[in-house]
Structure 1
């Protein structure tokens, strides 16, 4: 009848996230009341946004010291006091880093019985939908165009690049290290990969896109964003999904230089988005994603770690680029 929780013990103050920012605590297992459900956590999603929430309010409330670390995941309904959910149903819930949670049932929906169920967190979850809508709705790629994606070996980026290939584009992935680059071009079918850690990164990027970039899917911000910005073609589109390079540690000394004039002269379209913007198109997106996985055109890479205690290290490792594909923890 206990509930193990990972608590954000103290907020990072300009320093990099470390294990001692978290604490493992044991509380009583909660009890569901009228209109509520009791959930048992199966898998917790690790996302760069987890770190961004520590910096202040975004599309959700800021995190505070002493509270259960926020995070979404795949949970099983144990007890339900709402008619549309029953014991045994799986739901995606923002239940936090803990074994059990009680939540209002009105905001939860039963997920389809798909195998493996981890795909509900990766390609059919926020990662896959973010990739789908960010590329197709914001980037609007056309067959024959050049698409560049940063953090290309991550959960979102690896799917973005594959969807762009399905749509007939030439795809260049930016990732850290030669091994990830070989994986992108060898297994996922990217046309080229560029290592952002290389001292010759900018030269290699320009060599990979000699005619410029039509669509850039930005997961990182910072120097990578700046390099791609200056390589954009006229009327290029940039889908601004995240700023991984900006989340952990001290803020950068400056932002990208020359933006206003460059955007005007190249007539660029930069669009920020969050996946909830496209809830009305969710079912059509899932139908496409399922079809592409079924026919082998979209490969799914998952990075699954074990145990609630591994969550702080899993997030720190994700921020350092350890993972390939969607990182999650089996609780």
Structure 2
């Protein structure tokens, strides 16, 4: 019998308790799962960075911290965390993000806002280009970025993917490195940001890189707030270089009421809902990693502390 501590926000226990217990049992592991196990008796920690648990020193027996979020920037630098840390990758996250990104990409591609918001009697009879004539760039080719790039490609978009290190994704034009970023952004009409939040990715979109995009391009950011220089984006929106920005993530969340994004006519704010962790699916990933830990197999989705993700 192993002991598994649920150390995410307390209000998540109600939705996670049954799926986790079922998934762990189905993985063939006999476990006691609870929210109040003495630290010295804990074998695995199911975690969210918003948890009150911030000091891992007392958890001397624990074998791994299994994060329920895709993002780990709020925990990866914790000096008390000495054991393996995994991030959440599951089919529900990938599908949810792909649906959200594809929906907003199609919204901008088809010009839906102009039709929905037009005044009575205004007849906007302008057809958009076909998807294969629309240049879409996805920045970040991890699990979520790759899933989104593939779905957009299946719709028919001309998709380019960029990542800091070289990647190879079937059916997607893949670029990497600084020169590749310039090429990926040059002339792009819709840009989707799905990079991790690290010092190397901060302000990936700035005054210089925004100027590379096609005039009137649209930005879609369901990744991380610091990927964009806010002031540079506002200036590009005001000049018309950027036609619209749909933003799901921000440097400060919830987004402060007086922030200019709330009031800008070319900005859509959504409340960090692009991809939610759903207990039904994330429990399967957690259970598989516990099974692997007990079997002496490598953990899935292990975080590279040096890279920050």
Which category describes the TM-score, using the shorter chain as reference length?
0.3 to 0.5
Which structure is higher in strand share? 1
**TM-score (normalised: structure 2):** 0.48
Q: Which of these two proteins has the greater Rg computed from alpha carbons?
A: 2
- TM-score computed with the length of structure 1 as normaliser: 0.45
